[in-house]
Amino acid sequence: MNQIIESARIKGNLILTEIESKQVLSEAGISVVETKLAESERAAVSLAEAMGYPVVLKISSPDITHKSDVNGVRVGIKTKEEVSQVFGEIIAAAKAKFPQANIEGVSVQRMARPGVEVIIGMTKDPQFGPVLMFGLGGIFVELLKDVSFRIVPLTRYDAHTMIKEIRGYALLNGFRGSEPASIEALEEMLLKISDFVDKHPEIKEMDLNPAFAYKDGATAVDARIVLEK
Ligand code: ADP
Ligand code: MG
């Protein structure tokens, strides 16, 4: 079993943090945005300086899965002064909204360049077992439920058709100034996730919400893995 999964289980954490989830995915060869934990304001500044601006700061807590709901996500941070200030603001906001939460610190991430936002999810169906879901980010999934599903393991044909069959498919050709997405890169990502899920029955569900799709690749900017009891 994967080491991060193992140690989360020992700690009794069934939901991996974004940092842990991204680490696991990255080890499986799935592209994720560089993400590191800062336990102090000073650490956040030195991580940001090393990564290069702009950066994104997010609350990191095993008890907070919807980080935006607690004002825990700030994108487009361009200076070290801003990193210092936002670090304090994020921790204070999380404590105010969720006083009982165990807060590890703040994750410092490279700011991914704009792409088409997609969502890839895995859930387990009582009959079919692991199933992958694909959709476009934001309102397309939440409001329009414009998603497709395939049973794991996926064939390349499955990956191809599940992308093509969503109603918003044309939006992958680029909209609102974002570059067109490579369908092949998305297929590759779906196949890697299928393979990973197939090899890890201890994973109950997961999502890349969102990943950014580009003309030459796709990268997860947020990820969550939930383990079986
Ligand atoms: P939540 O826990 O609320 O889902 P996310 O980590 O998904 O928080 O962040 C919210 C939004 O911020 C994302 O949908 C994405 O548009 C943007 N975002 C998050 N991380 C990055 C990043 N590293 N680079 C660029 N944009 C990001
Ligand atoms: Mg998210």
Find the CATH number of the domain harbouring 71.
Answer: 3.30.1490.20
Banded pLDDT at 143 (limits 50, 70, 90): confident
State the pTM of this model: 0.96
Which range (96-105, 121-130, 132-141, 154-163) has the least confidence?
132-141
Both 205 and 220 in one domain: the answer is yes
Give the closest residue (by CA) to ligand 1 atom 4. 66
**CATH number for 122:** 3.30.470.20
pLDDT at position 138 is 76
Q: Is residue 15 one of the residues assigned to a domain?
A: no
Q: Give the position, in ligand 1's atom list, of the atom nearest the Cα of 35.
A: 23
Both 39 and 70 in one domain: the answer is yes
Give the closest residue (by CA) to ligand 1 atom 22. 111
Q: Taking CB atoms and a 6 Å cutoff, what residues make up the pocket around ligand 1?
A: 33, 56, 58, 66-68, 73, 75, 109, 111-112, 209-210, 221-222
The Cα 18–Cα 153 span in angstroms is 25
Q: Is residue 179 one of the residues assigned to a domain?
A: yes
C-alpha distance across the termini of the chain, in Å = 15
Q: Which of 110, 136, 161 is where one domain is finished?
A: 110
Both 194 and 106 in one domain: the answer is no
pLDDT tens digit string along 108-135? 999 999 999 999 999 999 999 999 999 9
Query: What is the number of the ligand closest to the CA of 137?
Result: 1
Q: Is residue 46 one of the residues assigned to a domain?
A: yes
Q: Is residue 44 one of the residues assigned to a domain?
A: yes
Both 159 and 58 in one domain: the answer is no
Positive/negative CA dihedral, 14, 15, 20, 22: positive
For residue 174, pLDDT over 80 is answered with no
pLDDT tens digit string along 189-206? 999 999 999 999 999 999
What distance in angstroms lies between residue 119's CA and the mean position of ligand 2's atoms? 9
Domains identified in the chain, total number? 2
Both 197 and 214 in one domain: the answer is yes
Q: Is residue 8 one of the residues assigned to a domain?
A: no
Is residue 130 reached through a cis peptide bond, with omega within 30 degrees of 0 on the bond before it?
no
Q: What mean pLDDT do residues 48-68 have? A: 96
Q: 118 and 186 in contact (C-beta within 8 Å)?
A: yes
Distance of CA 45 to the CA centre of its chain: 23
For residue 132, what are the CA distances in angstroms to 147, 197, 226?
Answer: 10, 9, 14
What distance in angstroms lies between residue 211's CA and the mean position of ligand 1's atoms? 9
For residue 1, pLDDT over 80 is answered with no
pLDDT at position 85 is 98
Residue range of the domain that includes 105: 34-110
Q: What mean pLDDT do residues 99-106 have? A: 96
Give the closest residue (by CA) to ligand 1 atom 20. 221
Both 182 and 206 in one domain: the answer is yes
Q: Is residue 54 one of the residues assigned to a domain?
A: yes
pLDDT tens digit string along 24-39? 999 999 999 999 999 9
Q: Which of 68, 94, 110 is where one domain is finished?
A: 110
Q: Is residue 100 one of the residues assigned to a domain?
A: yes
pLDDT at position 54 is 98
For residue 2, pLDDT over 80 is answered with yes
Banded pLDDT at 101 (limits 50, 70, 90): very high
Q: What mean pLDDT do residues 84-101 have? A: 97
Q: Which of 45, 79, 110 is where one domain is finished?
A: 110
Both 95 and 120 in one domain: the answer is no
